[in-house]
Chain A
Amino acid sequence: DAGITQSPRHKVTETGTPVTLRCHQTENHRYMYWYRQDPGHGLRLIHYSYGVKDTDKGEVSDGYSVSRSKTEDFLLTLESATSSQTSVYFCAIRGGGAPGEPHPVETQYFGPGTRLLVL
């Protein structure tokens, strides 16, 4: 599983409350990603990071912010959660492509996901 963990794994919250999801990797990879997955839409990129303090928006970034103060941690924050943000959130890292790594550098390894319900 490429050493990626997500926390919490499940969360129920109320509309208007802030929520922070954490992604932690032990592989020292530069690129990290946050996706959401919804029926009929598939995986959609929210934000990604290409290094400490270096982040950029994805396809569905409105209502989300991210931070990366350490290589190993990438945080996703919903400043004021809405019901439309009910989803499954996945974190991913980009394959290293280093000698001995099984997969090309262009591939992504995913975490186990966080199921978020906003009531």
Chain B
Amino acid sequence: SQKIEQNSEALNIQEGKTATLTCNYTNYSPAYLQWYRQDPGRGPVFLLLIRENEKEKRKERLKVTFDTTLKQSLFHITASQPADSATYLCALRSNFGNEKLTFGTGTRLTIIP
């Protein structure tokens, strides 16, 4: 069956360090992978999309890698700040259609001052 795993339910990182979150998947052949941020009591907000033919994508302090051989994406936040504390979700295009996404359960990231 299809499965998306975000390896840590919670991750604590010291301010200023790089936070690295992992998303692994099985039984998918995704054309792209997305990362979202969710703050408590709010809906997810899109951050980055990376396509299967892209190895890396950057946006300011964020970097995403996508390894379709390993079936893994890594999400990095460099020079982390307390304001980066949130839950981060990865999402894959469903095998059943381009119009649907399947989400991982998320990693709750806390940046410690």
B-chain residues with CB within 8 Å of residue A112 when the two chains form the complex: 42-43
CB 8 Å contact bits of B78-113 with A (1 = contact, 0 = none): 000000000001000100001111111110000000
From the candidates B42, B44, B46, B100, name the one contacting A95 in the complex (CB within 8 A): B46
Instruction: Please tell me if the beta carbons of B34 and A113 are within 8 angstroms of each other in the complex.
Output: no
Instruction: Please tell me if the beta carbons of A107 and B100 are within 8 angstroms of each other in the complex.
Output: no
Interface size of B by Cβ–Cβ distance < 8 Å? 20
Bound-state CA distance A40–B35 (Å) is 18
From the candidates B43, B89, B98, B102, name the one contacting A92 in the complex (CB within 8 A): B43
Bound-state CA distance A59–B102 (Å) is 9
Give the interface size bracket for A toward B. Answer: 20 to 34
Q: Closest residue to A58 on the B side, CB-wise?
A: B100
Known: A40-B105, A106-B93. A111 touches B43 (CB 8 A): yes
CB 8 Å contact bits of B21-42 with A (1 = contact, 0 = none): 0000000000010100000011
List A residues at the B interface (Cβ < 8 Å). Answer: 31, 33, 35, 40-45, 48, 50, 58-59, 90, 92, 94-95, 103-104, 106-113
Most buried by A among B46, B102, B106: B46
A-chain residues with CB within 8 Å of residue B102 when the two chains form the complex: 45, 59
B-chain residues with CB within 8 Å of residue A59 when the two chains form the complex: 102
B-chain residues with CB within 8 Å of residue A104 when the two chains form the complex: 49
Most buried by A among B41, B44, B45: B44
B-chain residues with CB within 8 Å of residue A50 when the two chains form the complex: 99
Give A76 Cβ to nearest chain B Cβ, in Å.
Answer: 15
A-chain residues with CB within 8 Å of residue B106 when the two chains form the complex: 42
Instruction: Please tell me if the beta carbons of A106 and B43 are within 8 angstroms of each other in the complex.
Output: no
Q: Closest residue to B49 on the A side, CB-wise?
A: A104
B-chain residues with CB within 8 Å of residue A113 when the two chains form the complex: 41-43
A-chain residues with CB within 8 Å of residue B103 when the two chains form the complex: 35, 42-44
